[in-house]
Amino acid sequence: MPMSALPSSFQAFRIHNDEEGFRANWEPQSIDEQTSGDVVIEVHYSSVNYKDALAGTNRGKILRRFPLNGGIDVAGVVLASESDRFAIGDSVLMTGSGLSETKDGGYSEYLRVSSEFLVPLPTNLTLHESMIIGTAGFTAALALSRMEANGQTPEMGPIAVTGATGGVGSLAIDIFTKAGYQVSAITGKTEAFDWLHSLGAAQCIDRHGLYWPESPLASAQFAGALDNVGGDMLNGLTRVIRPWGNIASCGMAASMGLNTTVMPFIIRGVSLLGINSAGCPYSLRASIWDKLANDWRPNHLASIHTKTIGPDELKDAFEALIDGTNQGRIVVDLRPQPPTRKKTTKKRVAKKKATRKKAAQKKANQTKEKTS
């Protein structure tokens, strides 16, 4: 597609915070208003992550400058490129890497990005599938990669996954199970137990019924953990991990606090691994996407895909993530919407009505002329 296909104005979800206060809405934008880059993408899809919900509702400090377009994920087709690595028509994706933090993000019909962080779409994934995975699946896979690099193996025993019904949690269950691990899903949604089992969870635990002993070390139940929750949950997990196990600290859906002791680390050799998907170096990023498209390709993408929404539904999706009621992954469709059949029919009916009215008016005028 030539650059001439780029419209002078398109829609983007812009987040402002200035003397007029915080506001985030879809508004017209031109490519020159966006942060710099050497590749322009025609955006097809983005997704909704917890971080997007925080940024889009002003519930968390995500953007480091204003205004910026929201959306930490993007997938689309190259429309123009000054990079040797990408050509017009290439399918590409980008997650994190400063999107909606220091650079304009993926909630935009067109996006200018730096090729430095752009990943060619792996052959085994469609653009839509890549956004079901998005930052959430990338984070789960990065956690597994770091845990294994630090000695975790399936033979050591079960892995606890907290925030299990969320984006990172549900994809972690799928990915860890595929990699041969037995997963214990910890969730606040007991009604989702069947769904979590269907994704591969061997055990489901109601987080509201969890009891963590006060002692620094308690009976070791898990060989490792991926934690999306932080606070008391992460504190409790440090006490119940088997010797030499790893805890991947991914999120803080409950709290950013951590109150524990050094005992699990110095007596059991437990490791606490920090997971930072946004800043992951490019070579590791590319190899993780390769794993996600092959060995660790999630088996249950269709079931984890909650829905694909249009731009108008974005704010409702943010609220579902903020209040913890979301289950799975939401994709945002940013392709220009073709006029629906309904609209075309409506237009045709309106046109016919107008023609009929005109003809009736003409006839009435003629009759009037004859009678006068």
The residue from 99, 241, 254, 288 that contacts ligand NAP (CB under 6 A) is 254
259 counts as binding ligand NAP under rule CB under 6 A: no
Q: How many C-beta atoms surround the C-beta of residue 366 within 10 A?
A: 10
305 counts as binding ligand NAP under rule CB under 6 A: no
The residue from 14, 112, 189, 268 that contacts ligand NAP (CB under 6 A) is 189
45 counts as binding ligand NAP under rule CB under 6 A: no
* Residue with smaller CB distance to ligand NAP, 78 or 252: 252
11 counts as binding ligand NAP under rule CB under 6 A: no
Question: Both tokens of residue 144?
Answer: 């597994």
Instruction: Give phi and psi for 77, each to the nearest 5.
Output: -125, 135
Tell me the angle at which helices 127-149 and 282-293 cross, rounded to the nearest 10 degrees: 110
Q: In terms of C-beta distances under 8 Å and separation of at least 24 residues, what long-range contacts does 187-195 make, across chains too?
A: 187/163, 188/324, 189/165, 189/327, 192/164, 192/165, 192/327, 195/165, 195/303, 195/327
Smallest distance from ligand NAP to CB 1, Å: 32
> Cβ(46)–Cβ(107) under 8 Å?
yes
Could you tell me how many residues make up the chain?
372
288 counts as binding ligand NAP under rule CB under 6 A: no
292 counts as binding ligand NAP under rule CB under 6 A: no
226 counts as binding ligand NAP under rule CB under 6 A: no
The residue from 164, 173, 199, 247 that contacts ligand NAP (CB under 6 A) is 164
Smallest distance from ligand NAP to CB 23, Å: 22
The residue from 276, 345, 355, 365 that contacts ligand NAP (CB under 6 A) is 276
268 counts as binding ligand NAP under rule CB under 6 A: no
> Cβ(122)–Cβ(281) under 8 Å?
no
Considering only residues 308 through 367, tell me which ones interact with ligand NAP, judged by CB under 6 A: 321, 324, 326
Q: Which CA distances in Å does 149 have to 226, 273, 328?
A: 15, 11, 27
Smallest distance from ligand NAP to CB 143, Å: 8
Of 76, 131, 81, 132, the residue nearest 109 (C-alpha): 76
Name the residue with the smallest CB distance to ligand NAP: 166
The residue from 29, 81, 97, 187 that contacts ligand NAP (CB under 6 A) is 187
Please tell me the distance from the alpha carbon of residue 221 to that of residue 241, in angstroms, as a whole number.
Answer: 6
Counting residues that bind ligand NAP (by CB under 6 A) gives 31
Please tell me the distance from the alpha carbon of residue 175 to that of residue 177, in angstroms, as a whole number.
Answer: 5
CA dihedral 245, 249, 254, 258 (to 10 degrees): 80
> Cβ(301)–Cβ(129) under 8 Å?
yes
* Residue with smaller CB distance to ligand NAP, 247 or 254: 254
Of 191, 165, 254, the residue nearest 173 (C-alpha): 165
DSSP secondary structure string, 25-40?
EEEEE-GGGSPP-SEE
Stretch that binds ligand NAP, among 114-122, 135-143, 144-152, 349-357 (CB under 6 A): 135-143
* Residue with smaller CB distance to ligand NAP, 137 or 158: 137
49 counts as binding ligand NAP under rule CB under 6 A: yes
167 counts as binding ligand NAP under rule CB under 6 A: yes
Q: Which CA distances in Å does 227 have to 246, 255, 284?
A: 11, 11, 21
* Residue with smaller CB distance to ligand NAP, 86 or 117: 117
The residue from 122, 157, 166, 264 that contacts ligand NAP (CB under 6 A) is 166
The residue from 112, 207, 297, 305 that contacts ligand NAP (CB under 6 A) is 207
Chain residues binding ligand NAP by CB under 6 A are 49-51, 135-136, 139, 163-169, 187-189, 207, 228-229, 250-254, 275-278, 321, 324, 326
